[in-house]
A and B are shown apart, each in its own frame.
Chain A
Amino acid sequence: MHLIKHLLLFTQNNFKQLKRKWLSLPLIILFPIILTGLCALIAVSIFIPDEQDPLQIGLVDKDKSEETKMVVDLIESSSQLGNYIQINNLTSEQADKQIDNQLSAYITFPKGFTESLYNGNPVTLHITGNPDKRTESYVVKELSDSIARHIRTSQANILTINYYAKQLEMGEKTRDDMLFNQFTNFILYTVGKDKIIDEEKITNNATNSTLHYYGLAGWFIITSVWLLAFYSFFTKNEELRIKNRMRLYGVTQIRQILAKMISAFTVTIISASITFIVLIRLTDITLLTEDFLRIAFIVSAYSISFLLGLAVLETIFTGQKIRLLMQSLFTFTVILLSGALIPTLYFPLYLQEVLPYSFPSIGFHWLQEVSLNSRAYVDFIPMLLLMTAGTLVFVGLSMWKERVSQ
């Protein structure tokens, strides 16, 4: 009975503290939302490049032969790459000047490029990137790697034609002209490579769209950060004397932590349900009452396991700074493992084997299934098992610590 009395007392204490410091409540609630919003904006701007602000790439032609001029003109005027990339023909000095601000990268065709191409000598294309625009420079690098691959194969084929042509009775000039013709042909051939593939896009309207997935993932991340924030909010660092007094009354560390967990859980669940309903309304997902019950269960089981993890870390680490560091690391790992940031499909194989045993991935997986894929069945048993395991670990650690410190 003392357990329940103490729990009630501490929980009441926590809520009184919340009422006293009610000003910090909006701050804690808004902070993860702002942060996630910023991340979402950044992610959107990476994956959907701004059409008004295309990638600027420069081409510097130091060779100035007919072939390179033709290639540069062709690349500059081809709209194959769409509005996302704009290619400009520049001189070396212009490129040097512009590399620091607008240009993402520039490609240099060195002197003697065409000659070496025809004779089969090794040639290096230099790509200089803008250190301020790192990701875009890498996109350009990938692009130029694939261009180089195409040119390499065309070059091999042209050289083959040259080899066999030398064995025929062709005049030198005719052969050179023919080679030039072949060069043009192969360039056009490369440009037309999309003929090979017939592209289709499958959309599955019954299940999720990207927006829904990321909306749900964002809500999931925000809830986890709220759990951490409220848990830290209710943490008090008491002096040694008060701790000793409390021990005299039979209050163990475990009851305080349990009370913290209960208060953090309640507050987070309230705010999370409000935001979840807002999310559902915004994205037009239809859910039945039983779906809501299932989601409530999944989210509660996930939150309790998460809070248990935080509690275990609190018992192990007594130093405040290190405890905070470990708890933030724990939160970050949990969010990463759940698949909210990067879908679990892209994890390495050895990580994917661990996933069925970790509560974040199970939680997020079932959350997805119920809300986005309209699944009617949820397997409760793994989550319950993990929760019980977590509780046992926590209780054991805490009791062991009490013994040791006495």
Chain B
Amino acid sequence: MRQILSTRFIHWKKQGFSLTFWLFFPLLATIGIVMITNTLQEDAKVPVGLVINEETEATSQLLQEIKSTPFVRVKQLSEDDALYNLKKHDLDSVFVIHEGFADKIRKDNRSMLITGYQSDSSFAYAPVKEMILSYVQQETGRSKAVYTVKDLEQQYNGNNGWTYNEIVARSKEIQDDENLLETAFSFNDSPIDNTEKIHVFSVWGLWAIFSFLATLLLFDWVIKERHSKAIMRLTFTQFTLKTYLLYNLIIYTILLFAVDLLTISLFYLFYGEWISIINLIIYRILINLGAFLLAHLFKKQFLYYTISFGLTLFLTVSSGAVLPTGIFTDLSWFDFFNPLLPLLKGKFITLWSMSVLFFSIIWFFTKEKFHA
């Protein structure tokens, strides 16, 4: 065993840079992508056109509120320009505030205050519309409250002479001062703090895919060893080819697992995401065995690399670890083959794991090729 370890170290000294790169690639790539998507998500905005047909305090307030929404970029245009841009698909949607906006609100008349235009490739029309509606609804709701109070005043013969503005101001005060209603979001197993950002991609899903790729690429030593000229010399040592490969497999598993533990601690520090260690152990063992067996099928390294990239791409799209799967939630046909399941969901007995174990047992009992 010690001899194999020293042989491996000699190899690693030569491949030092490549080895360290691929060992830390999943970790760095996951962190990089999460950071990039978070920054881009903050800056990615929907361009919306606003047409304001009258200049009153109410409309300019509304304009300010809409401009301060984080995910919208507002362009103020004339009606013709805005509609023209919408047709050219330069704008996502257009909202026109009609004349008489302030008056109508004051009179508690809220029908047809705004016209909204969407084109057939508008993605964000519904959320933007909801947002604008909620702002306008605030104003009209306050107006309605004023009329209710005035009605009550008349009903009970009070003569306090509350003005419209006074009541509206009181309503705003209550809304600002008192922290009235909050929503708290959490998943069943891991409670997420509401103030923390919710990532677009699941961190463990990303890491699982990248570590799948890195493992496949790191296991090219199998191809190199099996097809090198020097391997025949093994017959004159105490090792058979199979034990040699097996010992190397164990060395690589321990190395990769050490890096995995480092990854878990770093992810917990940065993102507060934890995963059970048993899942990780089983995932690592299965992935290593899978890569080991797959590498036996290839003679040329380049073909093996391209196939690993292709497999990873296929896995990204169909496994739903990174992209959300819409159709496959019920059928889950891919769950039979999904290598990522043991990590992400803790389901150990799948077709994938059973076949990997089956083939490794077969490999273990094949006949030796070289005899002294």
Task: State the A residues within 8 Å of B (CB).
Answer: 31, 35, 38-39, 41-42, 44-46, 50, 53, 99-100, 117, 120-135, 137-138, 141-142, 144-146, 148-161, 163-165, 167-170, 178, 182, 186, 189-190, 193-204, 207-210, 213, 232, 235, 237, 319-322, 324, 328, 343, 345-350
Contacts of A204 in B (CB 8 A): 87, 89, 119-120
Q: Is the CB of B180 within 8 A of A120?
A: yes
Give the docked Cα–Cα distance between A35 and B345 (Å). 24
Q: Are A163 and B170 in contact (CB under 8 A)?
A: yes
Query: Looking across the interface, which residue of chain A has its beta carbon closest to that of B131?
Result: A146
State A148–B142 Cα separation when bound (angstroms): 17
Q: A50–B324 Cα gap in the complex (Å)? A: 15
B178 at the interface (CB under 8 A from A): yes
* Cα A267 to Cα B327 with chains together (Å): 35
With A120-B174, A157-B145, A168-B153: A197-B158 Cβ-Cβ less than 8 Å: no
Q: Are A122 and B167 in contact (CB under 8 A)?
A: no
Would you call B242 an interface residue if the criterion is a C-beta within 8 Å of the partner chain's C-beta atoms? no
CB distance A348 to B45 under 8 Å?
yes
How far is A183 from B294 in the complex, measured between Cα atoms in Å?
A: 66
Which residues of chain B come closer than 8 Å to A149, judged between CB atoms?
Answer: 134
Alpha-carbon gap, A125 to B181, bound state (A): 7
Contact B184 A146 (CB under 8 A): no
Question: Quick one: closest B residue to A190, CB to CB?
Answer: B137
Question: Are B116's CB and A235's CB within 8 A?
Answer: no
Contact of B324 among A134, A213, A343 (CB under 8 A): A134
Given A124-B182, A148-B182, are A160 and B87 also a contact pair (CB < 8 Å)? no
Cα A99 to Cα B140 with chains together (Å): 38
Whether the pair A137, B187 counts as a contact (CB closer than 8 A) is yes
Verify B138–A153 contact, CB threshold 8 A: yes
Q: Are A153 and B137 neighbours in the complex by a CB distance under 8 Å?
A: yes
- Chain B 123-134 near chain A by CB (<8 Å), digits 1 or 0: 100010111111
Shortest CB–CB separation between residue A135 and chain B, in angstroms?
4
Is there an interface contact between B160 and A167, defined as CB atoms closer than 8 Å? yes
Residue of A nearest to B111 (CB): A195
A356-B212 Cα distance, complex, nearest whole Å? 37
Q: Is the CB of B115 within 8 A of A196?
A: no
For chain B, which range describes its interface: under 10, 10 to 19, 20 to 34, or 35 or more residues? 35 or more
Which listed residue (B113, B119, B172) contacts A202, Cβ 8 A? Answer: B119
B183 touches A127 (CB 8 A): yes
Q: Are A99 and B183 neighbours in the complex by a CB distance under 8 Å?
A: no
Interface-located stretch among B256-264, B282-290, B305-313, B357-365? B305-313
Complexed CA–CA distance, A185 and B28 (Å): 55
B225 within 8 A of A: no
Q: Assess the B187–A129 pair: CB atoms within 8 A.
A: yes
User: A167 is contacted by which of B158, B220, B302 (Cβ under 8 Å)?
Assistant: B158
Query: Which B43-101 residues sit within 8 Å CB-CB of chain A?
Result: 43-47, 73, 83, 86-90, 92
Q: Which of B129, B179, B183, B326 contacts A125 (CB 8 A)?
A: B183
A170 touches which of B149, B156, B175 (Cβ 8 Å): B156
Which residue of A161, A237, A321 is within 8 Å of B22 (Cβ)? A321
Let me know if B174 and A319 touch, CB within 8 A.
no
Chain B residues with CB under 8 A of A144: 183
Task: Give the contacting residue for B117; candidates A141, A202, A209; CB below 8 A.
Answer: A202
Give A318 Cβ to nearest chain B Cβ, in Å: 11
What is the CA–CA distance of A128 and B330 in the complex, to the nearest angstrom?
Answer: 21
B162 at the A interface (CB under 8 A): yes
- Chain B residue nearest to A34 in the complex (CB): B314
Given contacts A141-B185, A346-B44, whether A197 and B152 have CB atoms under 8 Å apart is no
CA distance A158 to B152 in the complex (A): 13
Determine how close the nearest CB of chain B comes to the CB of A188; give it in whole angstroms. Answer: 11
- With a cutoff of 8 Å between Cβ atoms, the chain A residues found around residue B136 in the complex are 196
Q: What separation, in Å, do the CA atoms of A193 and B113 have in the docked complex?
A: 11
Residues of B within 8 A of A123 (CB): 180-182
Q: In the assembly, what is the distance between CA of A147 and CA of B169, in Å? A: 23
Pair A198/B43 contact, Cβ less than 8 Å: no
Question: Which residues of chain B are within 8 angstroms of A167 by Cβ–Cβ distance?
Answer: 158, 160
- Cβ–Cβ contact B313 & A35, under 8 A: yes
Chain B window 287-320, contacts with chain A (Cβ cutoff 8 Å), 1 for yes, 0 for no: 0000000000000011001100110011001100
Q: List A contacts of B302 (CB < 8 A).
A: 232, 235, 237, 320
Query: In the bound complex, what is the Cα–Cα distance between A131 and B152 (angstroms)?
Result: 49
Does residue B269 face the partner (Cβ distance < 8 Å to A)?
A: no
| Nearest CB in chain B to that of A49: its residue | B326
Q: Which residues of A contact B131 (CB under 8 A)?
A: 146
What's the Cα separation between A280 and B144 when bound, in Å?
56
Cβ contact within 8 Å between A154 and B170: no
Q: Within 8 Å of chain A (Cβ to Cβ): is B186? A: yes
Q: Is the CB of A125 within 8 A of B21?
A: no
